[in-house]
Amino acid sequence: MFVENTFRSHERKGWIEVICGSMFSGKTEELIRRLKRAQFARLKVEIFKPAIDTRYHEQQVVSHNDTRILSTAVPSSSNILLMASDVDVVGIDEAQFFDDGLVDVCNQLANNGIRVVIAGLDMDYSGAPFGVMPPLMAVAEFVTKVHAICVSCGNLAHHSYRVTDEKKVVLLGETDKYKPLCRYCYQHQQNER
């Protein structure tokens, strides 16, 4: 009898997990938690992040709560395939900043028996689906949506509201540029502009 979420230990099977949500929702912290558990289980883990993300550290994935794990910054998704040989688990942070080739890279890794754990923003500051995240969520076996807390009312937040007037889609920042808002407070703030 086959039981869901189990597999035969002699068969290596890969899959894709996506952790998504707004800024300050704990995506990176959850990614690091899953990857550290894999390391504790003595699995070979490689972690990647986009080279443009140098907010905290050039060679570490770092959460807003200062949880850290060693990583490799890469300029494009194709570099991940070159550097992820002979591993059990691949972690990818800030996936929304990668090129469209990331979907094929993740599928190829999973098809080769590698567990792929991805974290990224599902929506940009305007509330539109962000970059490569929608197709990644479509091909993933597991999708976890995490929420921040709305800084205006205390409800669950899933919008990353930009507090500056900058209009470009990719704008790295922290609380100086973004705040998490619920749907109601986000719409209210948008109408005030």
- The residue from 4, 94, 141, 166 that is catalytic is 94
Number of domains in the chain: 1
At residue 154, does pLDDT exceed 70?
yes
Within a domain: 172: no
- For the segment 161-175, the average pLDDT, to the nearest whole number, is 75
At residue 128, does pLDDT exceed 50?
yes
Confidence of residue 58 (pLDDT cuts 50, 70, 90): low
Residues 6 or more apart in contact with residue 109 via CB below 8 angstroms: 14, 80, 81, 84, 90, 116
Q: In this structure, what are the phi and psi dihedrals at residue 143, rounded to the nearest 5 degrees?
A: -125, 125
Highest mean pLDDT among 37-51, 109-123, 151-165: 109-123
Residues 6 or more apart in contact with residue 107 via CB below 8 angstroms: 16, 139
DSSP category for residue 58? S
User: What is d(CA 153, CA 103) in angstroms, rounded to the nearest whole number?
Assistant: 36
Our answer to whether residue 94 is catalytic in this structure is yes
Mean pLDDT of the chain: 86
Within a domain: 26: yes
User: What is d(CA 54, CA 113) in angstroms, rounded to the nearest whole number?
Assistant: 30
Within a domain: 169: no
Helix (H, G, I), strand (E, B) or coil at 40: helix
Within a domain: 118: yes
Range of the domain at 64: 15-146
Predicted local distance difference test score (pLDDT) of residue 175: 65
Within a domain: 44: yes
Within a domain: 85: yes
Confidence of residue 103 (pLDDT cuts 50, 70, 90): very high
User: CATH code at 26?
Assistant: 3.40.50.300
Confidence of residue 4 (pLDDT cuts 50, 70, 90): very low
Predicted local distance difference test score (pLDDT) of residue 81: 92
pTM of the entire predicted model:
0.85
Predicted local distance difference test score (pLDDT) of residue 168: 76
